[in-house]
Amino acid sequence: MDNVVKLPKRYYKTPPNGFKINLYTEAEIEMTLFCVNIWGEKNVKFKQEDLRCMTAHFVLDALDRGHKSGLLSYEAREIINKIMKSIEPIYSPSTKGGVSQG
């Protein structure tokens, strides 16, 4: 009985530290810039170089507002859907998975 390993009772999923937005094509980059410049809540015009400095929340909010606006074509909304599906959560290396409680 000394070799029995006690397992924790519950695991809680750790929240991600951030999100990674993957932009693979020129169309995805251009659509992201378009949405950020039109529906972003700042009075600044962004360029492609500025994408790395933006927070994921700001970009996702602009993409979501653009998608829900009803002003974009079907093809443009498909590009936004593709961008939103490619988003990956970022965890710190020591907390990936779950944290045991109990």
Alpha carbon distance 67, 99 (integer Å) = 35
Residue range(s) defining the domain that contains residue 65: 30-73
In a domain, 50, yes or no: yes
In a domain, 49, yes or no: yes
Residues 6+ apart with CB under 8 A from 36: 46, 54, 58, 59, 62
Total domains in the chain come to: 1
Q: pLDDT tens across 11-47, in order?
A: 677 788 888 999 999 999 999 999 999 998 778 899 9
- Amino acid of residue 67: H
pTM listed for this prediction = 0.74
In a domain, 69, yes or no: yes
Q: pLDDT tens across 57-101, in order?
A: 999 999 999 999 999 999 999 999 999 999 898 887 754 555 544
In a domain, 44, yes or no: yes
In a domain, 55, yes or no: yes
Alpha carbon distance 62, 66 (integer Å) = 6
In a domain, 53, yes or no: yes
